[in-house]
Amino acid sequence: MGIGSTLAVEEAEEQYREDCAKQIARTAAPLVAAGDMGRDDAIRTVTEWLRQGSEAEGDVTGVVSVQNKFPTPSKEVATKQVAAIVHDLLDAARAAADTL
């Protein structure tokens, strides 16, 4: 691969990690806002959910996909509160996305 190709791959990988981080933060924030989990636990739970989702793609039986439940909050939460928490979680979510 040439330098341009390598750079393009690195940029795509970085964009993928950033997209994963945003998804982690957006999914974890309602769990935190509802009081279901602390920030670290919510990020860990969502990261594991994403990891298992990736594993489910290779499972021809479909068992992993069925067992991988989307983490949902126990109650409705304010949109503005969730948005503020998403912003606060992004750095930790980026670190978690690097482990995927």
* pLDDT tens per residue across span 67-99: 889 999 999 999 999 999 999 999 999 999 999
Residues 60-99 as b/e (b if ≥16 CB within 10 A, e otherwise) read: eeeeeeeebeebebeeebeeeebeebbeebbebbbebbee
Extents of the domains making up the chain: 3-97
- Please determine, for residue 4, whether its predicted confidence score (pLDDT) is greater than 80: no
pLDDT, position 1: 57
In tens, the pLDDT along 5-51 reads: 898 999 999 999 999 999 999 999 999 999 999 999 999 999 999 99
pLDDT of residue 59: 79
Secondary structure of 22-56 in HEC code, one letter for each residue: HHHHHHHHHHHHCCCCCHHHHHHHHHHHHHHHHHH
